[in-house]
Amino acid sequence: MDLSLYVVRFLHYTAALQLFGIAVFQVWIAPPQLRHAITDTSRRIAIASAAVLLVSGLAWLMFMAGSMGSGWTDITNLSVIGTVLRVTQFGQVWFWHLLLVALLLPIAALGLRGSAGWAALALLSTLALGSLGLIGHAAIAEGYAGLLNRSSHILHALSSGFWLGSLLPLLYSLRMLKSPELGVPANVALRKFSGLGHYAVAIALASGISNSWFILRNVEINPAVPYQSLLLLKIALVGVMLLLALVNRYVFVPRIPNNGPGARQLHDGTIAEIVVSAAILTLVAMLGVLSPS
């Protein structure tokens, strides 16, 4: 069951970050002309992400019921699922999380014809992604420390969602940099993303350090422990991701003007960031299930 739960968690986190990133890109990053040009593609990504988010969210709940019951025989036991929702901290958060997720799919499928629909999707996806910061290791502390821990996890989820979730819409916007009609708005979107990205990366790094401290503060440090070894690997991959982001911003972007090679290099660099982010999310899916000690 552990492998299945890892897969479900990976799909859920990936879909939540992607849905948030695509909505934020449409609402805050893309100028109106670019937003209109990429709406159809963005809408398809939003629908797919919302569908995966809903299915994986329900599967996650069933796997939790199985882990608290008798295994595979209880993943569809409504009585056990109801108990999980009523009496566990995970279940109480997950009930509201699933309600938000259930609203996202019809909005993505039917309501993305104008700016109001994208704004609604951005708001609900913010709440859905942020609520993931209230479960798992985020709930290990109580009182003031618990509030700080949960706040740090929420900030980490949202800042990571902006950084990682916006990479895909940025990627297909980069293909329009040489377009006579869309080159200017695509460049505006790139500059805006780069500017806001500095804040998102800083918050993601600071909150990531905070999260690790809260989780490991009372734990003996031992890299042989699976959780801690995977966390070290995640930190290394985040370092690679940061290096890629710096190269993209400060080496490739300045090479874009005057038909330079920067646009192609930035396109390839963004693909590299997406690949590394997928590896990081794979580790996140595993870390949330493992014990730190």
Average the pLDDT over 158-163 and give the result: 96
Q: What is residue 84's predicted lDDT score, i.e. its pLDDT?
A: 87
Q: Is residue 45 situated within a structural domain?
A: yes
Name every residue whose Cβ is closer than 8 Å to that of residue 268 and which is 6 or more positions away in sequence.
Answer: none
Q: Is residue 74 situated within a structural domain?
A: yes
Q: Is residue 190 situated within a structural domain?
A: yes
Domain span at 8: 2-287
Q: Is residue 243 situated within a structural domain?
A: yes
Q: Is residue 292 situated within a structural domain?
A: no
Q: What is residue 1's predicted lDDT score, i.e. its pLDDT?
A: 59
Q: What is residue 77's predicted lDDT score, i.e. its pLDDT?
A: 76
Average the pLDDT over 221-245 and give the result: 95
Average the pLDDT over 232-237 and give the result: 96
Report the amino acid identity of residue 78. L
Question: Lowest-pLDDT range, 68-72, 186-190, 215-219, 284-288?
Answer: 68-72
The 10 Å Cβ neighbour count of residue 87 is: 10
Average the pLDDT over 81-91 and give the result: 88
Q: What is residue 264's predicted lDDT score, i.e. its pLDDT?
A: 93
Give tens-digit pLDDT for 127-141: 999 999 998 876 676
CATH number at residue 220: 1.20.1630
With pLDDT > 70 as the criterion, what percentage of the chain qualifies? 97
pLDDT band of residue 124 (cuts 50, 70, 90) is: very high
With pLDDT > 90 as the criterion, what percentage of the chain qualifies? 70
pLDDT band of residue 236 (cuts 50, 70, 90) is: very high
pLDDT band of residue 74 (cuts 50, 70, 90) is: low
Q: What is residue 82's predicted lDDT score, i.e. its pLDDT?
A: 87
Q: Count of domains in the chain? A: 1
pLDDT band of residue 75 (cuts 50, 70, 90) is: confident
Q: Is residue 131 situated within a structural domain?
A: yes
Across the chain, mean pLDDT equals: 91
Q: Is residue 149 situated within a structural domain?
A: yes
Average the pLDDT over 172-181 and give the result: 89
Q: Is residue 22 situated within a structural domain?
A: yes
Q: What is residue 218's predicted lDDT score, i.e. its pLDDT?
A: 84
